Copies of this chain bind each other. A is one copy, B any other.
C-alpha cells in the first residue's frame, strides 16, 4: 500500500481496501464491517467509515449512489439529465439525445431489462466558473 504523508499504515485500512478490490458487489460499510469482524473482533463501524472516507480522499476507492445528502425531488417527469455543480450544489436539468440503441445494447450485453436510467454530470456550473 502506498502511504502518503498524512496517513500512517493501518491493518484495518489495508484490509478494507483489499476487500473492496477483491469483490464485485459494491458493498456497504456494514458489509465490510461484518467481513472484518472475525479478523478484528473489536473493530468498530466508526473505524470502517473513517477509513472509507480516507480511501475515497486518496482516490483509491469511489463512493457510489451518493447517500448521506438530502433526498431531492422534482416534478419534471420527462426524460432529462442532471448537471450537478460540485461547488454550489445547484442541479440543472437538460436534455441530450441519448441514442436509443444504447439501451438495447445494454440489455443485450447484460441480458437484463432496463426500465429507466439516470445520467448525471458533475462539475462546475456557469455561475461558479465566472466567479
Contact = CB atoms under 8 A, between A and B. Distances in A.
Interface string A65-76: 111111111111
Interface residues of A, number: 69
A100 to B, nearest CB: 13
B83 A62 contact: no
B85 A61 contact: no
A65 B72 contact: yes
A65 B109 CA distance: 26
Interface stretch (A3-11, A35-43, A112-120): A112-120
A68 B69 CA distance: 8
A112 B123 contact: yes
Quick one: copies of this chain in the complex? 2
Contacts of A24: 92-93
Interface of A is mostly: mixed
A24 B70 CA distance: 17
A67 B67 contact: yes
Contacts of A116: 121-123
Nearest to A69: B67
16 contacts: A17-B75, A24-B92, A25-B91, A26-B74, A26-B82, A27-B72, A32-B73, A52-B71, A62-B77, A63-B71, A64-B82, A96-B102, A99-B99, A111-B129, A113-B123, A119-B119
